[in-house]
A and B are shown apart, each in its own frame.
Chain A
Amino acid sequence: MIGLKRKTAGLLGMGLALALVAAACGGTSPGPSASSPTASGQPTRGGVLRTAISSFGFTGGFDPTDEYLGLAWDFYGAMLRNLVSYKHIGGAAGNALYPDLATSMPEISPDGLTYTFHLKSGIKFGPPVNREITSQDIAYAFERINDKNAGAEYGFYYDGVIKGMTGQVNGIKPVSGIETPDATTIIFHLTQPTGDFLYRLAMPATAPIPVEVAKCFPTGGGYGRFVISSGPYMIQGSQDLSLSQSCSQMVKNPISGFDPTKQLILVRNPNYAQSTDNLRSNYVNAIDIQVDANVSDIFNKVAAGTLDSSLADPPPTTTLTQYLTNPSKKPYLHSDSGDRTWYITMNLLTPPFDDVHVREAVNFIIDKAALQQAWGGPVFGQIATHIMPPIMLNNALTSSYDPYKTPGETGSLALAQAQMKLSKYDPKHDGKCDIASACTNIVMINRNYAPWSTMEPIVVQDLAKIGIQVVPRELETGAAYQTIDTTKNNIPIALNAGWGKDYADPFTFAQPLFGSAALIPVGNTNYSMVGVTSAIIKKQGLGVTIPKGLSVPSVDSLINQCEGQAGATRQQCWVNFDEYVMTKVVPWVPYLWATNLTITAPSLTKWVFDQFSGYISLTQVAVNNNISVSSLG
């Protein structure tokens, strides 16, 4: 999911005096809080969950077919039901799949190519559709993904995987690999065994969509303000949407409870039957999400109790200090794994990083502890020692695997120099990058705001220790990504990059970040150019050249190998993959597995984190604020 968080543009509004209590001994991180009641007593039903966000930042207009923003997936978790779904809880348990619309987990053919689901009966779309959800509604969601006009942003999880899906079809056409023999049965035919296929069926784009409404939105993004509920909550005012009006009229009258610049209000879907759902608790009567560009104001309101929780904005360090130093406030700070790795990316094609020894030296020299401090401290995340956040591998590979271990993770000049001496850029064997043309004036892309700008002097200084002179260049988030994802720029090293999972399978890291299939001239996500060949450069028009005599490592066969497996062998395969990338390819310096930080008010009586979306679990938290739904809107 996309992690483009814009600069929290503004300042303050904290009405609290910033009393910095005498520094408590550093490093005490808040307890793991995946699911802990913050007040005694049982969670009660009722009330309104009040929260706010600085900006939604949707990538696809909130249309489930397109939308690639983790925060949107958090909302969909309360609005949409899939064939299989999560319990929307935190930790590794939150990554487990259960039947949701389906009566049970699918029957899978022995060759792993056919998945058959049966649907529960009596599950209806929310108003104004009000009819039973059928297998055709799910097939329709796939037909939309397959329609090139819709612009399904993660259609690649289905294209070439389900028979007949290419993402290139013009208009809504049946997909040959999806059968709906009756209203409660759906069968998927795959082209190859795909071990994480069920995860892909839990993605919001595959949730049933009623054609009555969606037919009016043939191009991407449009359906976002008309999303019809299939889950416990719906957009407030859904019942007022008239199905009898023409499409040209309908597009002018979006559902009232959602305005992408102002708010999203979710209320209970009257057609939802709790009896059909054993995944979600649905304590609150409504969810009120307001846009408040003033981040500090959001945290003020949480502190004052006029909001029950923050949502996706990271708290300013000055605010965090209050929560970390005050024992009575500490329980209201929640720090959960965001399943995101922040890393320095090096380009395998540009000197001096075209030499694996230089890349290893860089891994040894970077002071990861200082980078963690630049973020604010340990509460922002654990120091990353390899690619995949541990939860992604079900803790089979944790931070105890540390191929570039240095004392205190502060970097080691001796170890770095030892590697540098092996490199062709150190003819003097003094442990420094000696060849001026390769080692000086190296452009390093970075973001222009904290914490990235704070990391910059550290990285510049560390690299200088081994003779690498970088010239930092600071850009806005989007511009920085664009600079490194345009291959012809051939940017040697970049500090701005981070990657979050789409679903809890390492494939969502491996393929886009290291697969040669991701290599395209603009929008490339394989910034290190792993697996690039002259043939790919020519075919895609990447505008780069491979230095003479260099053989660029490829991990394509490893990815394919893992993708064809399931269960424990699959997990072990990904562990091996991670180790291989870290030691043989060395495209990155991973430095932080980020947490997502949420601050709640005492009125939030039950805190639960949704591991899938990476934010508060809207269907599992409870509040005690006596706010009535009628006061909303």
Chain B
Amino acid sequence: MRGPPQAAPAPVPSGSDDWDMWRYVARRLLWVVFVLLVISAITYVIFFIMPPVNPVVLFAGKSPTPTILATVSHQFGLDKPVWEQYLLFVKHVFLGDQYGWPGLGFSFQYRESIRSLMAARLPVTASLALGAALVWLVIGIPIGVASAIKRRTLVDRLAMGFALFFVSAPVFWLGLMFLWIFWFRLGWAAGTGYYGFTTNGFGTWLNHMVMPWVVLALLYAAFYARMARGNLIETMGEDYIRTARAKGLSERRVIFRHGLRSSLTPIVTMFGMDLGGLMGGAIITETVFNLQGIGQWAYQSVGTGDIPAILAVTLVTSFAITFANLVVDIVYAYLDPRVRYS
């Protein structure tokens, strides 16, 4: 969906509209819960019923005996029927477990609560996602806007060439190239790894985050540039823009006061979902730059059979995506009265 073509005047919801909206929100929230249940069930099927790596064998020593396997299986709660494990998991998510709410269990590998492990990884992923988001907005949208305004000029062509290039470039290759050029050959940027700013200082943190930000952001920036351009061009063809022009407003004013506002609305939608998705970690970027974030944790957990960690990351990511979706839809519905709460 491309969103409303004209600047959306904020509707004044009447009493019944208001009620409709709340019903709508409630239903959507239920949907989010349902999706999360389904997704966690799918995760269970893949990782518990037919585990890629059996954690019991992995954590029972290198030449296990059946007794030890049984003990470890019991410790991990894997000796119960799968449906019972799943119900227990759902119960813990809703009601909390010994480590608090929401109960996400404990890690087989670290024998520690998933929540605290996740809390330790979250700053890395948040640094990456938020920083990259800022970069791609700052790069992508101006390029898209400039390109739309200077349509069919050299600026436009260069801008769209840029967008096409980075839409096509695989992130891991881009990451390696950046490392090779800016770190290894030129020595401008610091190498890989995450250095928290509380322990290592702001400068070190920044120095190590710049390249991951840029590499991750370029892909998104390219998409946003293309989208911003397309939307703005379309909006500028709308009647009310012509009217505004006819009224003698300066072109600058027309673009920035009227055109941009409505053409950027769909980008807000995208932005919410992209950011939501990134909170689940960017496995590739985190791998290339060795950032021990949520994504890499989940990826490694597949290898070590640390199923509760996989489950938790899946759940959190899916929650972030569906919830961002919901928020965006509500904001949309609120902004645009034509969207029915149906």
Chain A interfacial positions (CB closer than 8 Å to B): 1-4, 6-7, 9-15, 18, 57-61, 66, 68, 148-156, 159, 167-168, 219-222, 224, 260-262, 292-294, 296-297, 300, 476-479, 481-482, 485, 512, 518, 520, 522-523, 525
Contacts and interface: CB of A to CB of B under 8 A. Distances in A.
A155 B192 contact: no
A13 B62 contact: no
Contacts of B54: 482, 522
A261 B191 contact: no
Contact of B66 (A68, A478, A520): A520
B302 interface: yes
Contacts of A61: 110-111
Contact of A296 (B120, B192, B287): B192
A3 B75 CA distance: 23
Interface residues of B, number: 45
21 contacts: A2-B61, A9-B296, A12-B192, A59-B58, A59-B61, A66-B61, A68-B62, A148-B71, A152-B68, A153-B60, A153-B64, A156-B65, A167-B68, A220-B71, A260-B112, A261-B112, A293-B193, A297-B191, A476-B53, A478-B304, A479-B303
Given A15-B191, A482-B58, A518 B63 contact: yes
A260 B57 CA distance: 20
Contact of A261 (B52, B117, B304): B117
A220 B72 contact: yes
Nearest to A149: B71
B67 interface: yes
A151 B292 CA distance: 30
B78 to A, nearest CB: 12
Interface in B50-103: 52-54, 57-72, 74-75
B192 A11 contact: yes
A58 B70 CA distance: 19
B201 to A, nearest CB: 15
A523 B290 contact: no
Interface of B: 52-54, 57-72, 74-75, 109-112, 117, 120, 176, 179, 183-184, 191-193, 287-290, 292, 296, 300, 302-305
A221 B107 CA distance: 12
Contacts of B59: 59-60
B105 to A, nearest CB: 15
A13 B120 CA distance: 22
Nearest to A168: B67
A220 B64 CA distance: 14
B57 A522 contact: yes
A7 B296 CA distance: 12
Contact of A260 (B110, B184, B300): B110
In the A-B complex, list the 6 residue pairs whose CB atoms are closest, starting with the nearest.
A10-B290, A153-B61, A13-B191, A294-B193, A512-B63, A476-B303
Contacts of A14: 191
Nearest to B99: A252
Contacts of B112: 260-261
A297 B192 contact: yes
A57 B62 CA distance: 13
A292 B58 CA distance: 23
Contacts of B183: 12
A292 B192 CA distance: 11
B303 A151 contact: no
Specify which of A6, A60, A167, A261 lies most central, judged by the most chain B CB atoms within 10 Å of its CB. A261
A224 B74 CA distance: 19
Contacts of A13: 191-193, 290
B61 A60 contact: yes
Contacts of B289: 10-11
B193 A292 contact: yes
B80 to A, nearest CB: 16
Nearest to A517: B65
